[in-house]
Every structure is written in C-alpha cells, then in structure tokens.
Structure 1
C-alpha cells in the first residue's frame, strides 16, 4: 500500500471522527437547552387610568301627598292633599344645594323637589334630603315620610293593593334633561304581567308621571311592581292609602327596594299594642315577599329590641308569585325582620296602629346595605328613632354624628339592632367602622292622637350616599 493511500485513509477517518464529535456536542447542547428553563418575558398591556370629571349629585324628593277623585267633574283627576315639609342637609362647609320643582302633568299643584349639589374642588358633593307630610281629611289621613333619592335604572315597589278601599299611585320622576321610557312589570296572583298601561311609559325631562296602580292591575291583594327605565334613570315610589267604609285608614309614601337579594333586612318595624289588642280578625303586621325568578324557600326571623328572637318561620315561594306572612303574636315595640332565601327576593313589612277612626299604617321596605360614611336627613315627625341593624356574626361599631355636633359611638351586637333617638330637621352622618356593613331605618310613631292629629306611623330606609366616581381603565389600541 502506498503512503498516499494511507494518508488518504487517515484523513478520512479524522473527518469522520470530527463530525461525530460535532454531532455529539450539538445533541448535548440541544438536550441541555430543553432541560434548562429559557428566560421568559411578559409584556403587560399599556393602560391608562382616567378619572371622570365629577358630576353633580341629584336627588328627587317624594313630593306632596296626592288625592284622587276630589274633582266632581273629573273623578280621575289628581290634586294636592298636603304639601311636603323638607329637611335638607350638606356636610359642614359645603354650600346649600340648588332646588327645583318637577312638572306633574297628571296632577294639579306643586310637584316634587329636586336637590342638586355641584362638585366642590373637583370632588363630588354629598346632599341629604327627606320629607314628611301629614293630612287629616275625609278621604285621606295619616303621616307619610320619604327620603330624597337618586334616580335609578331599576327598582322594586313592594306595597299597596288594588282591592276595594285602596287608592294607590305609582310615582315616576325624571329629573334629567332627556326623556325616560319606563316598563312596569306587575307581579300578582297570576304571576308577572306587563299591562298595556305599563309598557313604554314616557316621562318627559324634568317631570313626574303619576299612574293609578289599579289602572295597571285590578283586584290584587299583594302586588309588587318592577320598574325598568331606559334613556334616563327615574326615581320610583308608591303612594298608598286605604279607606274602610268611608273611614280613612292611613296613608304612606313607600320608598323603592333597591334590588333583589338573597338577604333582606328590615329594621325599625313598629308593632303597636293597641292594634293587636283591638283586632281579632285582621292582621296588624304582615310581611310581603317575592322571589321573581325562581322557586325559593325563605327563612323569616323577627328579633326584638332586647335581642330576643320573637319568631322564626320558613315559607315556600313560587317564582313570580308574591306571598304574605302574618307576623302574629309579636310583643309591642320596635323589631328587626330578617328574610334569608336561597334565591334573590324583595320584601317589605306593613304595620298599622288600628282599624278605626284616626288609624294610620306604614310600609317598611328592606333597607339597603351601608358600608361607608353616609349622610342622611331626618324630616319632621313624632318620636323619630334611627334603628341600626347589624346582620353580621360579630359586633360592629358605628359613629353617628349630627352635622355641626359631637360624635356618638354606637356598638351593635351581632344579629341585633340598636335604636337611637334622632332630632327632626337635623342631618347626620352614619359611618360604619372597620369595614362593617349595617342597615338602618328612621321610624315615626304616635298613637292616641286627638282632635285633628290622629295616629301617625311612617318609616324611611337610610340609603347609602352616592360613591365618588371611580377611575376608568383605558387600554389604548
């Protein structure tokens, strides 16, 4: 063999060996790269938080008491039976709100008052208002009280009736600059119905429409009305009154229930001993409850002011059918009603001072949750009391401060309510501490009035103050 061939073979072997070594190194590198985590990079989306310019705070008051059928030539005409006395308050140092009046094409006389508070130093302002009206006439008698509330796109009216002797009115107020269109769904013995008179009801800007409840559904013992607005929010309320064989049996302005929920708390329910003692056939305290969407089971618990449980009962609920439960056997005093269900419900309690001349009644709607400092006003009325309920399982503390006055600390035991006297025509701040959540109602009661006074019973749930506008997160495209 020649030296050239030997050299060629050695050169070829060296190339094969080098290639094998390179391949081995490459494979090792790939395997190692797979085994070792690669560096990662997450690109957060670009976002900008924009704070909307604060809007004015606008609340609409209940307005005067209205009477139906006082005009002999027009039985369907509405007229003012009693004007509303207002209590209005703002935080210390803030200017007074501006006041305006809504037009009421359906009634003769003054309409409800609108309170508008402009922002101060780039921060949304608070304003509180509430009103009361008292009347003693042959067709209408009693005390009515209501708070001034922000208009909403949805609300529930739990109360009233369209049976013989009832004369109830649905009040729909639009304080905005554009028209609102409202659909009313009435829940009764036949379930949910949208009557022709409740579909597409147009409320012009800066005005209020008044609709007789009997014109929507007739012969209902326990109706519930669902109010849905489009175009602009509305403030919905119910004026309810009753006449028994030509004797007026009371009047009330019923605040809306803000939303359906699985837990409803109704503080401040007054049970009048006189009514329970003189009535054997008629219930004097009744709970009305509706599960609008699904069958449910509700547990009703009534707790007295001492913390004693006075009643516990389960009631079945059929979807869309209002149910009523007589709260019989309760001792006289102020009570808290708790309604817990496995589906969303709305509820309210009716109570009366009696069934004879001079009697009055009140509806106590479920109170909304208060989780932050809230400003509220107390209108004129007898024996005004603030009932603060703690539905939680641990004691909570709240601070109750009259505007311009000293702070009062109140501790509320778990599952109970505390009743605190409040001054008429005063404004207070209710501030739950440490993330606590409470419910509250202002209630009035007077029994045994003489002359032109008569009995008086009324209640106003305390609504949380409007929260400041939250920032809006914008993701640029």
Structure 2
C-alpha cells in the first residue's frame, strides 16, 4: 500500500470521526435544551373595567279611558271617554321628571310619558300612576294603572270578546324609532297571530285596537305582545255591559314575563253591591309552552293559613283556563300559583252584577330585588299588601318620599301584611334584599282597582374591556 493511500484513509477516518462527534454533541445539546427550562416572557393583557353610563328612566302611561261603538256610522271607532288623573315623582333631591305627550289616534284622548335623566352617573328612579272615573250610559266605573317602562315582550291577561265585552288593546311607543309589534292571542284554538295582529307603531305615538277585531268569541284570552325595532308599553282596557247596564271598567297593565311561581297580593274581595248575586273571584292562568299541573293557594292577608287546601289545576300548553275561586269573605287575599313550567295569570274580582258595579284585574307582582318607588293615584282607600314567599324574615320599610310618613314592619316567611296609604303620593319600599312581592289596591263599594309594585332598576354591572 502506498503512503498516499494510507494518508487518504487516515484523512477520511478523521473526517468521519469528527462528523460523528459533532452530531453527538448536537444531539446532547438539543436534549439538554429540551430538558432545561427556557426563559419565558409573560405579559398580562391590558384590561379596563368600566360601568356603562345609565340611560334615562322612561315610563309610558295608559292614558284616557276609551269607548267603542259610540259612532253608529262606524261601529269599530274608538272615542275618548274620560281623562286620566296622574301622579308622578322621584326620590327626594332628584330633579322632577319631564312629562311629554304621545300622539294618539283617538280624537280628544291624551297619554303621557315621564322621563327622568340620570344624575351623577346614577339612574334616577321615577314612579307614576293614573286613575280615571267615568259614568256614562255605555261605560261606567273606576280604573287605576301605573305607568310602566317599555318592553320588547310582555303579556296581557284579562278581558273577553264575548257579548257585552268592549275591550281595547293599547300600545304605546315612547321611543325615537318605529316599533313593529306582533300580537299573539292565546284562546280556544291555542296561540294564533290573527289578521291585524302585526302593526307598526311610529315613534312617540299610541295606537288603540279593538280586541274583538283580533279574536272574536273568546271568553278567556291571553295576549303576548312582541316588539322589534323599539320596546313598547302595552295595556288592556276592559269593560262590561250587562243587559244595557255598564258593569265596570279597568286598565290592565302588562306582565313582564312568565314565571313558575305567581304571587298576586292585595286581591280585594269587596261586599257585593246591587241586587242578585254575590261577588265572584276568578283566576285566569296560562302555561304558554308545556302541559303542567298548577297548584293554587288563597291566603287571607295577615293570616298564615290558606282558606283551603291547594287546588290542583291541569293546564294544556297554549290554552288559557279560568278557575272560579268560590265565595270568599270580604277582605284582602294573596293568590299564589306554582307549577314546574312558567305561567302567566291574573285574578278578576267584581263588586257585584247590578247597576253601579265595578271590577278589577289583579296581576302578579314581581320580586322586589332593590328599594323601589311606586305611586298611589287619586281614588278610594289605597293600601299596600306585601307578601313574603321566601324562607327569610323580611323587614319592610315604606317611606313617603316627601318625608311625611315612614312605617317599618317585619313580615315573617310565608305571611303577608298590609300598609294603609294616602292617595296621590309617591312611596319607596325597601325589604333589605329579601324578595318580597307587593301590590296596591283601591277599594270602595262602587270602585275597585289594583296593580303590582315593580322592582326598581338595579345598578348596571361593570364590564371588562380589552383594548
């Protein structure tokens, strides 16, 4: 073998050895790098916590009492029958609300809107209510209803479209853009959107529609009001005529949403006035979405025990049902309805069936989550009934916002209590965070009305923004 070949083999072997050593070193380096912790850089995202600015508080009122059929040439025409006397206010120290008028389609009718602007980045609570009295050949009685904020969905429970009824659905749009409203009538055929059940309500206006024009021949209708474009306030004016004698009138406020537990406080059963028949108390209830069995309990105010064992009521989805609650003594009651699916309902009570009789629809009271304002209208003997359906003791304070009165009462779990109030006064109710329910009733021999107290607006929840 020549020296040159030996040299080439040595050179090649050295290169192979060097390459092997380099590869081995690379593997060791990579393995070590994977095994050892690498330095990390952690940077928290920039976050800003902000509370949304509160909006103005807006309440739309039912407005004047209306009458159907006064023009013989136009049977479905609506006319103004009596003005609404209003009471409104805010908490002590807040600027008074601004009152404006909705444009109505009924000549001579008027409907107010109250707006309270926020102050110091806090929402301003406002309360307003109205009442009307009418005595005419075709319409007679006393009606009282609170002014309510507009909603995208609400429910009207009450009235009928059978002989003697002359009911009117009133839709108000206090906003700045038009609202498209769909009215779904739940009756003997289940839920139906009737011809004429889709309407456009221009901004700043109020429209009135005959309920019989939407669903004729219904003795226990329930109406769902759905709005797009802008929220609306819905009211049902209902009236009766018996053999040419007017038998009462009421303005029934909307229910915000179905609930599994309905609590209707302050149902005032008055002594029957007029000849013939004792006063009647009727519960109307609807399970919109599913069949269920509802449990109905009637408890006198100030008494722990109900008047009887709970009544079981079988409900078919989408089919309203009326239940006669039987002869009740003349006093105030709380009617409770529980089920395993959401319900809507209301209680109808009348002072009698003769001349000069009146009636009222009492709707469920929502839970009072925070201190809330309500107003009493002009009218007979207003009273507040507070029910405590929770398992906690509630210390309830009711203050007149003008400082003229203050009352505090402890309401035990499962019991109710009653506060006497003054007409045309704004009050604050505070239960210290316990979810009580409350209703206002106005009662006399020839006048009956009632409405629930709604919870005030809670503070806006802070939100986190990531720029």
**TM-score (normalizing by structure 2):** 0.89
SS at match of 1:152: coil
Q: What is the aligned partner in structure 1 of residue 294 from structure 2?
A: 298
CA contact (8 A) 1:64 1:84 kept: yes
SS at match of 2:272: helix
Between the aligned partners of 2:280 and 2:466, the Cα distance in structure 1 is 58
Q: What are the Cα deviations for residues 239-271 of structure 1, in whole angstroms up to 9, with x where unaligned?
A: 000001100011000011110010110000011
Q: Could you list the runs of 5+ residues in structure 2 that have no partner in the other structure?
A: 1-24
User: Could you tell me how far 1:57 is from its partner in structure 2?
Assistant: 1.2
Alignment of 1:29-108 (within 5 A): 46-105=46-105, 107-108=106-107
CA contact (8 A) 1:111 1:208 kept: no
Between the aligned partners of 1:277 and 1:75, the Cα distance in structure 2 is 32
**Taking structure 1 as reference, are residues 372 and 42 closer, same or farther at Cα in structure 2, changes over 3 Å only?**
farther
**Taking structure 1 as reference, are residues 276 and 224 closer, same or farther at Cα in structure 2, changes over 3 Å only?**
farther
User: Could you tell me how far 1:407 is from its partner in structure 2?
Assistant: 3.0
Q: What is the aligned partner in structure 2 of residue 397 from structure 1?
A: 395
Q: What is the aligned partner in structure 2 of residue 308 from structure 1?
A: 305
User: Could you tell me how far 1:466 is from its partner in structure 2?
Assistant: 2.6
CA RMSD of aligned residues (A): 2.7
User: Could you tell me how far 1:90 is from its partner in structure 2?
Assistant: 1.1
SS at match of 1:131: strand
Q: Could you list the runs of 5+ residues in structure 1 that have no partner in the other structure?
A: 1-21, 448-454
Q: Number of residues paired by the alignment?
A: 444
Q: What is the aligned partner in structure 1 of residue 450 from structure 2?
A: 459
CA contact (8 A) 2:270 2:444 kept: no
Q: What are the Cα deviations for residues 300-335 of structure 1, in whole angstroms up to 9, with x where unaligned?
A: 111112223113111111000001111113222100
User: Could you tell me how far 1:42 is from its partner in structure 2?
Assistant: 8.5
Q: What is the aligned partner in structure 2 of residue 288 from structure 1?
A: 284
Residue 236 of structure 1 is aligned with which of 234, 237, 242?
234
Between the aligned partners of 2:185 and 2:82, the Cα distance in structure 1 is 28
CA contact (8 A) 2:280 2:327 kept: no
**Taking structure 1 as reference, are residues 357 and 276 closer, same or farther at Cα in structure 2, changes over 3 Å only?**
closer
**Taking structure 1 as reference, are residues 287 and 43 closer, same or farther at Cα in structure 2, changes over 3 Å only?**
farther
**Taking structure 1 as reference, are residues 43 and 343 closer, same or farther at Cα in structure 2, changes over 3 Å only?**
farther
Residue 272 of structure 1 is aligned with which of 270, 273, 287?
270
User: Could you tell me how far 1:70 is from its partner in structure 2?
Assistant: 1.3
SS at match of 2:196: helix
Residue 469 of structure 1 is aligned with which of 454, 460, 465?
460
**Taking structure 1 as reference, are residues 111 and 44 closer, same or farther at Cα in structure 2, changes over 3 Å only?**
farther
Q: What is the aligned partner in structure 2 of residue 148 from structure 1?
A: 147
**TM-score (normalizing by structure 1):** 0.87
CA contact (8 A) 2:366 2:455 kept: yes
User: Could you tell me how far 1:52 is from its partner in structure 2?
Assistant: 2.5
Between the aligned partners of 1:42 and 1:239, the Cα distance in structure 2 is 64
Residue 355 of structure 2 is aligned with which of 354, 357, 380?
357
Residue 379 of structure 2 is aligned with which of 378, 381, 384?
381
Q: What is the aligned partner in structure 2 of residue 110 from structure 1?
A: 109
The farther-off stretch of 116-125 and 211-220 is: 116-125
User: Could you tell me how far 1:32 is from its partner in structure 2?
Assistant: 10
User: Could you tell me how far 1:167 is from its partner in structure 2?
Assistant: 0.5
Q: What are the Cα deviations for residues 22-43 of structure 1, in whole angstroms up to 9, with x where unaligned?
A: 9xx99x999998xxx9999997
Between the aligned partners of 1:134 and 1:43, the Cα distance in structure 2 is 69
Between the aligned partners of 1:222 and 1:410, the Cα distance in structure 2 is 38
Between the aligned partners of 2:320 and 2:109, the Cα distance in structure 1 is 34
CA contact (8 A) 1:174 1:208 kept: yes
**Taking structure 1 as reference, are residues 39 and 267 closer, same or farther at Cα in structure 2, changes over 3 Å only?**
farther
Between the aligned partners of 1:459 and 1:43, the Cα distance in structure 2 is 60
